[in-house]
Structure 1
Amino acid sequence: MYVFLIIPLCVLLLWLYVKWTGMKNYWTKLGVPQGQVHPIFGSMTFLQKRNPHVWLTELYQKFKPAPYVGIWVFWRRGLVVNCPELSRQILVKDADVFRNRNLASGKSDPMGALNLFTVDDPLWSSLRRRLTLVFTGSKLRGWTPLYQSKVSDLVYRINSDCEKGIKINLRSLFADFSTDIIGESSFGVQCQATRNNTGPLREMTKEFEKYSTWRGLAWSSIFFLPEVVDIFRFSFWPKHTVHYFRKVFKMMVEERGGYEREMDGKRDLLDALLKMKQDAKKDNQDMDLDILLSNAMIFLQGGYDTSSTSLLYAAYELAHHPEIQQTLYEELKQAKEALGSKEFDAESLATLPYLDAVIKETLRKYPIMGWLDRLALKDYKVNDQLTIPANTVVYVNAVGIQRDSKYFPEPEVFRPERFLPENAQSIVPYSYMPFGEGPRMCIGKRIGQNTVRYGLAAVILNFELLPLPEYPKPNDVPVEKKGLFYMPGIPLSVEFKRRK
């Protein structure tokens, strides 16, 4: 009887050995550098042990100056691109070949599968075209009073917490602020998290910040092995937050007059989502409610998380670089004096070169998502030496490129001067890609830039930031291991000293 068990097991082990042998020699035979390969996990043995940004940076440095490195994303061929020119070729020039991403959720998780971040063409193109209306220049200018109100709340909150002797958690502070911005600008919901750390949308974003082992496995599968998502019924977001958001979304729609009230799609994100459903109905099509909910949730997470993390790292670096902080303060002070009784608006903040440089340097050193994944839809000639087969996943190694001393000397040093106008010509095209490039670049780039500009300007104008001795220096801050984005692995804080 045991023979009937042993024979299949031996066949399986033999198959695994043959498969592994082919994998570990595949890229080498093509003349492409390749690291060690695990028979099951391929090159992905780092998952849940190290952040992908750390792994990509190490991979870049190990095989430098190779323009690309062969990997195995479990049992799928992968190519990590470490070259700005090849990045442009893949993301822009030949974008039609790389329309889709490798990450995806499954049928068991429609909320995670149907949003602009994860969905493939042709639905992606339709969603992108319709939702772009939300982020026009005129729309962003209309949000000026909202930004001005929220930066007042931000200053009030910092003063209040300091008076109470509260050691301010930077991530929590800026997450409260950015959640309010997204909540009110995208959904028209009155939010007060900046003042008191509470509110229905903030309760959701707090849950987004928790990375348990199970959620880490879920995200690792969605981003790198979507084929198993349905097997284990993984979900992009914790299921209880999805149930909660359904209730909140229903309440927001009812306040707008329901699904039948005619929308022009131009007011905000919620308006655009409702109009999409109405347009589909006019064309005798049924747009699933989950498409609306999924895109509302991804804008909430993507908008609040990226902006709050950028503000966190900017504030932390400035606390450890008083000379940079002083230069920024002088620029903001002069600009504010020139405005007289007026408050900053998006246009006046966008004209400040040193503020812009500080933010760009923060995003260079701390790219929130430091890789850009694309899936080859057909066989693709990378260059005269290499052609990759269809279904090869390609990762543009943005974090590796942005930390290469060839493009940014002393990359571990926080140096905003790199991005001042007089130095702009020295930046190699496609060596700096914090928002991605090409058709699938970040749709919320402008609202994210505005959020960080307003928030950072308000903080530096009103407070001097000082380092606290019990916290590590910026280059020693650990990175979150279970999550996939570039987030600090520990709470961070600085001293806020009120300016006279």
Structure 2
Amino acid sequence: MYLVLLVPIAIFLLWWYVKWTSMKNYWKNLGVPQSDVHPILGSLTFLQKKNPGVWLTELYREFKGAPYVGIWVFWRRGLVINDPNLARQILVKDADIFKNRLLASGKTDPMGALNLFTVDDPLWSSVRRRLTMLFTGSKLRGWQELYQSKVADLVYRINSDNEKGITINLRSLFADFATDVIGESSFGIQCQATKNSSGPLRAMTKDFEQYNTWRGMSWSSIFFLPDIVDIFRFSLWPKHTVVYFRKIFKMMVEERGGYEGQVEGKRDLLDALLKMKQDAVKENQDLDEDVLISNAMIFLQGGYDTSSAALTYTIYELAHYPEKQQILYEELAAAKKALGDKKFDAESLAQLPYLDACLKESLRKYPIMGWMDRLALKSYKVDEKLTIPANTVVYVNVSGMQMDPDYFPDPQEFRPERFLPENAANIVPYTYLPFGEGPRMCIGKRIGQNTMRYALSAVILNFEVKPLPKFPTPNEIPFEKKGLFYIPGIPLSVEFKPRK
């Protein structure tokens, strides 16, 4: 009886040992530097212990000078790209070979599986093409009054919280603001979260921010081991938020006359999604409603999460660098004086070099997603020394390159001057990739830049920000470990001192 059980166990353990041994030697046999290999997790022993961006930076430093490092993503071959020329090759030049990502959700999670962030070609190309027209300059200019209204609410909120003696959680404050911007510009929903931190969409984004062990496992699976998503019924978003948003989405569609209603000018994301559905019907294509809802949800997540984190880091750094904050204030004050009675608009803000430099430097030091994953669709020649087989996952090491002192001297120091126009030639191409590059670069880059410029300019014009005691310095900030984005692991606050 025991022998019947022991034999298959012994065979399995022997197979496992041989598999693990081959993994440990695979990249070394190809002459590729390789990280340590765990028999189950491969190279990903950091999961839920360390933020992936931190791990990638450490990996970069450990193998400094190596253009790539071999890893194992559980039992799948992976290659981390540490060289900007190879990054360009993969993201742009040979993008057709790297159209898809490894990260994916499953059939049990259609909301997480069918959006621009996770879906593969050919659906990705179709959705991307139809939504790109939403982000033209003319469309963004149409949201100018919304931005101006929301930054007024932002200043009101800070003053109100100051009067009440509230220590302001920076990420929560800017998440309120960014949720309002996304809610009104994308869906036409009147939102007041900037003033009172409440509302139906803000309730959802607050849930998005919560990471426990189970959600950490869900994200780890979706990003690194999508084969098991359906087995454990993991999901990209908390399931109750999906149910809630589905109801909201259907109500919004009904208010605009349903899927057959006339769409005029694609004034926002919802109109663009409705038009995409109508075009699919005309072309005899089957476009499930879940595709529309999934893309609406990812736009909400991507829009509020990245902008709120970037603004948090920028304000926090400026509080610790008063001389740089003063330079920014003087630039903004001079620009405001030149405008007279007019308010800032997207064009005038985009022309302020130090404002732009502060945001770029923040995104360099704190890239919200510290890597870009691509899946090789076929065997690929990386260079003269290495060819990788099909289905190898490739990670462009954004965190590592953006913290390399050879590209960015004293990388731990907040230096907006790196990105001033006179220093632009010093930035080595493809060492700075906060929005990605190539066909899969962030579709919402321009709206994200506008959101951050409006908010940062309003805060610095109206308040001097100072460090508060008992909070860490910028270089001591712990990062979220259970989630995968490069966001603060603790609340961060500063003093907002009203300017005279």
Structure 1 and Structure 2 fold alike (TM over 0.5): yes
Q: Separation in 1 of the partners of 2:284 and 2:354?
A: 52
- Secondary structure of 2:59 counterpart: helix
- For residues 194-232 of structure 1, what are the alpha-carbon distances to aligned partners after superposition, in whole Å with 9 as ceiling and x for unaligned? 000001000000000000110000000000000000010
- Secondary structure of 2:382 counterpart: strand
Q: 1:214 to 1:265 in 2, by over 3 A?
A: farther
1:382 to 2:364 alignment: no
> 1:283, CA displacement in angstroms?
2.2
- Secondary structure of 2:333 counterpart: helix
- For residues 171-195 of structure 1, what are the alpha-carbon distances to aligned partners after superposition, in whole Å with 9 as ceiling and x for unaligned? 1100000000000000011000000
- Secondary structure of 2:471 counterpart: coil
1:49: which partner in 2?
A: 49
- Secondary structure of 1:105 counterpart: coil
The residue type paired with residue 411 of structure 2 is P
1:330: which partner in 2?
A: 330
1:14 to 2:17 alignment: no
1:226: which partner in 2?
A: 226
The residue type paired with residue 459 of structure 2 is V
> 1:286, CA displacement in angstroms?
2.6
1:370 to 2:400 alignment: no
> 1:135, CA displacement in angstroms?
0.5
- Are 1:265 and 1:275, in contact at CA under 8 Å, matched by a contact in 2? no
The residue type paired with residue 363 of structure 1 is L
Q: Separation in 1 of the partners of 2:194 and 2:484?
A: 26
1:64 to 2:64 alignment: yes
The residue type paired with residue 93 of structure 2 is K
1:299: which partner in 2?
A: 299
- Are 1:265 and 1:273, in contact at CA under 8 Å, matched by a contact in 2? no
Gaps of 5+ in 2: none
1:425: which partner in 2?
A: 425
The residue type paired with residue 69 of structure 2 is V
- Secondary structure of 1:466 counterpart: strand
- Secondary structure of 1:71 counterpart: strand
Query: Runs in 1 of length 4+ with deviation above 4 angstroms?
Result: none
2:316: which partner in 1?
A: 316
- For residues 134-175 of structure 1, what are the alpha-carbon distances to aligned partners after superposition, in whole Å with 9 as ceiling and x for unaligned? 111000011000000000000000000000001100011000
Q: Separation in 1 of the partners of 2:281 and 2:69?
A: 48
> 1:247, CA displacement in angstroms?
1.0
Q: Separation in 2 of the partners of 1:201 and 1:346?
A: 25
- Are 1:361 and 1:418, in contact at CA under 8 Å, matched by a contact in 2? yes
1:195: which partner in 2?
A: 195
- For residues 89-110 of structure 1, what are the alpha-carbon distances to aligned partners after superposition, in whole Å with 9 as ceiling and x for unaligned? 0000000010000100001111
2:258: which partner in 1?
A: 258
- Report which stretch shifted further, 258-267 or 416-425: 258-267
1:235: which partner in 2?
A: 235
- Are 1:481 and 1:489, in contact at CA under 8 Å, matched by a contact in 2? yes
- Are 1:170 and 1:491, in contact at CA under 8 Å, matched by a contact in 2? yes
| TM-score, structure 2 as length reference | 0.99
- For residues 46-94 of structure 1, what are the alpha-carbon distances to aligned partners after superposition, in whole Å with 9 as ceiling and x for unaligned? 1011000011000000000100000000000000000001000000000
> 1:285, CA displacement in angstroms?
2.7
Q: Separation in 2 of the partners of 1:174 and 1:31?
A: 47
Instruction: Map 1:10-409 to 2 at 5 A.
Output: 10-264=10-264, 266-409=266-409
Q: Separation in 1 of the partners of 2:280 and 2:356?
A: 41
- Are 1:367 and 1:399, in contact at CA under 8 Å, matched by a contact in 2? yes
> 1:264, CA displacement in angstroms?
4.2
The residue type paired with residue 283 of structure 2 is D
The residue type paired with residue 275 of structure 2 is K
The residue type paired with residue 334 of structure 1 is A
Q: Separation in 1 of the partners of 2:382 and 2:54?
A: 26
Q: Separation in 2 of the partners of 1:81 and 1:355?
A: 31
Gaps of 5+ in 1: none
- Secondary structure of 2:395 counterpart: strand
Q: Separation in 1 of the partners of 2:469 and 2:285?
A: 60
Q: 1:265 to 1:43 in 2, by over 3 A?
A: farther
- Secondary structure of 1:497 counterpart: strand
RMSD: 0.6
The residue type paired with residue 49 of structure 1 is K
- Are 1:111 and 1:290, in contact at CA under 8 Å, matched by a contact in 2? yes
Q: Separation in 1 of the partners of 2:108 and 2:470?
A: 45
Q: 1:160 to 1:82 in 2, by over 3 A?
A: same
- Secondary structure of 1:372 counterpart: strand
Count of residue correspondences: 500
- For residues 7-66 of structure 1, what are the alpha-carbon distances to aligned partners after superposition, in whole Å with 9 as ceiling and x for unaligned? 110011001000000000000000000021011110011101100001100000000010
- Report which stretch shifted further, 34-43 or 341-350: 34-43
The residue type paired with residue 340 of structure 1 is G
| TM-score, structure 1 as length reference | 0.99
1:475: which partner in 2?
A: 475
> 1:265, CA displacement in angstroms?
5.7
Q: 1:370 to 1:265 in 2, by over 3 A?
A: farther
1:447: which partner in 2?
A: 447
2:461: which partner in 1?
A: 461
Q: Separation in 1 of the partners of 2:265 and 2:399?
A: 36
- Are 1:264 and 1:275, in contact at CA under 8 Å, matched by a contact in 2? no
The residue type paired with residue 467 of structure 1 is P
